[in-house]
Structure 1
Amino acid sequence: MAEWCADHLRNCEGWKSAGLELSTTSDENAKWLDACIRQLVSWSDCTSLGGFHTSIEKLVASDPEAIMARTFLVGLSGLGTEAAARNVEFAKKMDQLEIDAEKYGNAREKRHAKAAILWGRGKHHEAAIEWDKLLDDYPTDLIAVKFSHDAHFFNGNQIGKKNAIEKVIHKWNADLPCYSYLHGMYAFGLEECGIYDDAETQADRALQLNRFDCWASHAKAHVLEMNGRHKEGKEFMYKTEDDWRQGWMLASHNYWHTALFHIEYAEYESALGIFDREIANRFNKTNSLLDMVDASSLLWRLELEGVNVGRDRWRKIEHLSKFIDNHSIVFNDVHLGLAIYRQEDLETEKKLRNSLEKYSSLLSEDNAQISKTIGMPLYDGMLDFARCDYDTAAETMYPIRDKVVQIGGSHAQRDLFVQTLIQSCILSKDPKNWALTPELLVERETLKHDSLLGQRLADKFRALHPL
């Protein structure tokens, strides 16, 4: 599927002729850098290159001191939410890169290093600005394109995500590596800004150019969900499954989207089947926080629908204790807390909560400040719901509902919190919380049109609180 990645990999001269000169003199390093960013953008392995992880190993081995390669890896680790400044080894890598980039890097590499280090040290908004500035001067810089797109996603900046691609896409030639993938990225930015018709057009364009573009399939799934076209969405995901599932880094997430279409139709066994066959197994192979989020989110949504998913399914999301001090983005922490609590590992959940509270006092990191003002109340509210304290859950989450976007994620992902708040108000014993429900149902319907799940929530409210 991704064998095209190996075609015409750029050596040092190739990067230079593209206006993206590297300071390394190793043609092998230059080619492996090209191979890595192509596979990352396509979310897939190029088997003729040995796959993404092998390509990373060869990138490092080909020139361990190369500034742009090291910068790419620092950015990858930070934006992958697997490392942060509190990780001692990662902090050392950033410190040394900062020194070496200033001594040996060229002008573009210094700016890239600055952005990657800012992100790694928790200055997420400043990092996004730096990547966007790089795109002003180097619009075909694929590394800046990818990192800017991801940064805006984690920052909850929908407009930034759209605008960053919008300002460069017309400056690319169609024969440039990964050109088609820009249309999928643009589609997702447009969708998150509620510009659904244009988003679908861009997603379709990307898929016409490359049917294996799993990010474009993902963007189209978002459009179909937000527009209430659930039957069409389900059919689209199954029809194209053999295309997008080959993008292994995103396959679990696209299966998650497929399960959401089933949940809209109350097809719970089908959603559980996707969890059992695809999502749980993939997380235990990748141990990726993205896959953990999908697994936790799917089981929680099914429980909100009244489905008994069973403790054993929660326990399939394994080895979670190693993430409790990570705190790269609080979006992950909330999903982590839900999974650990549902596994009945109350001691580990308490450690996570205490660790998150301690981390939230760090004024030096953007995510720490967001964790303090939004993340902690959201975490507590979701756990209050898990403990069946619906009054407290409603009173804790309602005041922050318009600010939750700042923790990152997509509209579809954050709907988990919207659904939980609505259920909290419906199940609350306090009439003032009941009274909030109609407003919340309207807010959700305005964002997610023709939702069958939303209709079930409205029916539940009327059944429990008749006029």
Structure 2
Amino acid sequence: MRRTASDRQGHTMSLTGTEAASHYDDALRELLFFRGEVATASQAVLAAAPRSPMGNALAAYLGLLGTEEKDATAAKEAFTGFAAGVRDEDLTPRERQHLAAAGSWLDGDIHRAGQLLGELTVAFPRDALALAVGHQIDFLTGDAARLRDRVGGALTAWPEDDPLYGNILGMYAFGLEESGHYTRSEEAGLAAVERDPRDVWGIHAVVHTYEMQGRFAQGIRFLDARTDDWASGNYLNVHNWWHYCLYALEAGDTGRPLEIYDAVLHHEESQGLAMELLDASALLWRLLLTGREAGARWTRLADAWAARQDPPYYAFNDVHAVMAYVGAGRTADAERLVADREAWLGRARPRLPNHAMTAAIGLPVCRALIAYGQGRYGQAVDLLAPIRYRLNTFGGSHAQRDAIQKTLLEAAIRAGRDDTARTLLSERIGLRPVCPYNWLAQARLADRLGESAKAAAARARAAEQAAAGAAALSG
């Protein structure tokens, strides 16, 4: 007998009884709150209904979302075994589309998976799994417009009394922020957090909005007021702590970020997950760019990246591994990674998205980081300047990619590329006039050019802005 059930949004689930459907709903909720319990709930779905199409699609997506190659390999093996026994007549059209999307991503075609999930969302706008996974794909591929519109196009189909509505609103807030709609993003993000204070993705969206507007003092206060809701017990806590560190750096405080680094971002008990190592590299690199020391942290972080022995899987991760190697003075390790990826490009299928990400963005950025670490600043500029408007195509957020933009600026200043540095600073100050880093960089450039009055004015502006953030940290 063919068993069917429905999820809480009323979608039919073939070969899935009511017990498994209940576990599936629990898993979706844990997924949207970024809690580790999603794995247990997902396993419970398959324990109750091993042939559940939606249960198997969910398990496949979970193996992919962390950008861990070993997890993706295990997920593909399990999914292939399941798919071999699937009959088309046992599936609904929605389930067929999910299985096609999961299969495409497992085969390395993340863009095709995102497209299939987008088509699915048009037909089934209240499919929370399609929205959540598609949203993360848009983030991993740096597609700001789809990050916004995938969720925005479905939002009015969701009744506001649906228990998941706040989470969907939080996703929309992040898409709005990455697209530059900061006022609307803040409104949507705060509304999501008001509905459920534990919505860490909604909190994350608001944090990004404040970051992009230079409202770092307000960001510190926002996070401090909600520490119990975001700072532990979820997969996003390390990343939100990283955002806290960025606020503190703007306030001129390097001690607090390093304390947070040691307690949360990377320490002896860290599991070496790519997403967490990425944040650790991104923080230490920002310290390096401003001449601040991180001590033995670089060595330990480089060791953690090396222990992973990552194959070519996600270019964004490769770049952050190279940051760690360069920061630790292990240029040979960085060059070996670059050489490995170059060799892979010669034998990999060109249609794979990571092939294009690596060739067009990943390798030039890696080479630029190595050049910067060796003091070849002009070469770093030459590598980064042509791709600076295309950095989004290898994933991440504006805030994350700003480490690369800052590398370009710092290299231009140090290489004496004064016209390039002036142009970059004019762009940055125009977009973020409240940013002590921008004004301090302006002061250094003015010093180079002998413009002492301009340098003094820029430093005074930086000090005034940093003081507001310092007051928030001490308050």
Q: What TM-score results when the alignment is normalised by the length of structure 2?
A: 0.88
Q: Determine which of 242, 249, 253 is the counterpart of 1:267.
A: 253
Q: Secondary structure at the match of 1:13?
A: strand
Residue 372 of structure 2: aligned partner: 385
Unaligned runs of 5+ in 2: 452-475
Specify the code of the residue in structure 2 equivalent to 1:325. D
Residue 36 of structure 1: aligned partner: 27
Cα 1:350–1:29 change in 2 (3 A) is: farther
Q: Determine which of 437, 442, 449 is the counterpart of 1:453.
A: 437
Q: CA deviation at 1:347?
A: 5.0
Specify the code of the residue in structure 2 equivalent to 1:402. Y
Q: CA deviation at 1:110?
A: 1.1
Cα 1:323–1:359 change in 2 (3 A) is: farther
Deviation string, structure 1 residues 365-414 (Cα, Å, up to 9, x no partner): 11211210111101110121122211111111111111111111111110
Residue 200 of structure 1: aligned partner: 186
Q: Determine which of 129, 134, 149 is the counterpart of 2:135.
A: 149
The CA distance in 1 between the partners of 2:12 and 2:333, in whole Å, is 48
Q: CA deviation at 1:79?
A: 2.7
Q: Secondary structure at the match of 2:294?
A: coil
Q: Determine which of 408, 420, 437 is the counterpart of 1:436.
A: 420
Residue 472 of structure 2: aligned partner: none
Specify the code of the residue in structure 1 equivalent to 2:48. S
Q: Secondary structure at the match of 1:171?
A: coil
Q: CA deviation at 1:244?
A: 1.3
Q: CA deviation at 1:179?
A: 1.5
Residue 408 of structure 1: aligned partner: 395
Task: Tell whether the 8 Å contact from 1:24 to 1:30 is kept in structure 2 after alignment.
Answer: no
Residue correspondence of structure 1 range 311-322 to structure 2 within 5 A: 311-316=296-301, 319-322=304-307
Deviation string, structure 1 residues 95-116 (Cα, Å, up to 9, x no partner): 4444444544332111001111
Task: Tell whether the 8 Å contact from 2:325 to 2:333 is kept in structure 1 after alignment.
Answer: yes
Cα 1:176–1:90 change in 2 (3 A) is: same
The CA distance in 2 between the partners of 1:313 and 1:276, in whole Å, is 12
Residue 13 of structure 1: aligned partner: 5
Q: Secondary structure at the match of 1:165?
A: helix
Q: CA deviation at 1:158?
A: 0.5
Q: Secondary structure at the match of 2:69?
A: coil
Q: Please say which of residues 306-315 and 411-420 is displaced more in the overlay.
A: 306-315
Task: Tell whether the 8 Å contact from 1:145 to 1:165 is kept in structure 2 after alignment.
Answer: yes
Specify the code of the residue in structure 2 equivalent to 1:66. S
Residue 375 of structure 1: aligned partner: 362
Task: Tell whether the 8 Å contact from 2:361 to 2:387 is kept in structure 1 after alignment.
Answer: yes
Residue correspondence of structure 1 range 233-248 to structure 2 within 5 A: 233-248=219-234
Unaligned runs of 5+ in 1: 1-10, 46-50
The CA distance in 1 between the partners of 2:340 and 2:362, in whole Å, is 13
Residue correspondence of structure 1 range 222-237 to structure 2 within 5 A: 222-237=208-223
Q: Please say which of residues 438-447 and 160-169 is displaced more in the overlay.
A: 438-447
Residue 5 of structure 1: aligned partner: none
Specify the code of the residue in structure 1 equivalent to 2:257. A
Cα 1:418–1:73 change in 2 (3 A) is: same
Residue 466 of structure 1: aligned partner: 450
Task: Tell whether the 8 Å contact from 1:102 to 1:110 is kept in structure 2 after alignment.
Answer: no
Q: CA-atom RMSD, angstroms?
A: 2.3
Deviation string, structure 1 residues 314-352 (Cα, Å, up to 9, x no partner): 415653235443433211110012113334455543442
Residue 458 of structure 2: aligned partner: none
The CA distance in 2 between the partners of 1:164 and 1:344, in whole Å, is 42
Task: Tell whether the 8 Å contact from 1:405 to 1:414 is kept in structure 2 after alignment.
Answer: yes
The CA distance in 2 between the partners of 1:342 and 1:434, in whole Å, is 26
Specify the code of the residue in structure 2 equivalent to 1:341. V
Cα 1:313–1:12 change in 2 (3 A) is: farther
Task: Tell whether the 8 Å contact from 1:43 to 1:248 is kept in structure 2 after alignment.
Answer: yes
Task: Tell whether the 8 Å contact from 1:311 to 1:342 is kept in structure 2 after alignment.
Answer: no
Residue 339 of structure 1: aligned partner: 324
Q: CA deviation at 1:238?
A: 1.2
Specify the code of the residue in structure 2 equivalent to 1:27. T
Residue 459 of structure 2: aligned partner: none
Task: Tell whether the 8 Å contact from 1:370 to 1:406 is kept in structure 2 after alignment.
Answer: yes
The CA distance in 2 between the partners of 1:389 and 1:94, in whole Å, is 47
The CA distance in 1 between the partners of 2:430 and 2:288, in whole Å, is 24
Specify the code of the residue in structure 1 equivalent to 2:440. R
Specify the code of the residue in structure 1 equivalent to 2:16. T
Q: CA deviation at 1:182?
A: 1.1
Q: CA deviation at 1:286?
A: 4.0
Task: Tell whether the 8 Å contact from 2:5 to 2:21 is kept in structure 1 after alignment.
Answer: no
Task: Tell whether the 8 Å contact from 2:210 to 2:218 is kept in structure 1 after alignment.
Answer: yes
Q: CA deviation at 1:464?
A: 2.7
2:292 maps to 1:301? no
2:351 maps to 1:364? yes
Residue 466 of structure 2: aligned partner: none
Task: Tell whether the 8 Å contact from 1:199 to 1:220 is kept in structure 2 after alignment.
Answer: yes
Residue 263 of structure 2: aligned partner: 277
Task: Tell whether the 8 Å contact from 2:151 to 2:172 is kept in structure 1 after alignment.
Answer: yes
Task: Tell whether the 8 Å contact from 1:43 to 1:214 is kept in structure 2 after alignment.
Answer: yes
Q: CA deviation at 1:122?
A: 2.1
Task: Tell whether the 8 Å contact from 2:319 to 2:362 is kept in structure 1 after alignment.
Answer: yes
Cα 1:354–1:105 change in 2 (3 A) is: farther
Cα 1:238–1:412 change in 2 (3 A) is: same
Residue 7 of structure 1: aligned partner: none
The CA distance in 2 between the partners of 1:177 and 1:82, in whole Å, is 30
The CA distance in 2 between the partners of 1:172 and 1:318, in whole Å, is 46
Task: Tell whether the 8 Å contact from 2:5 to 2:17 is kept in structure 1 after alignment.
Answer: no
Q: Determine which of 236, 246, 258 is the counterpart of 1:250.
A: 236
Q: Secondary structure at the match of 1:22?
A: strand
Query: Identity percentage over the alignment?
Result: 27
Specify the code of the residue in structure 1 equivalent to 2:5. E
Task: Tell whether the 8 Å contact from 2:216 to 2:247 is kept in structure 1 after alignment.
Answer: yes
**Structure 1 moving runs of 4+ over 6 Å:** none
Specify the code of the residue in structure 2 equivalent to 1:423. E
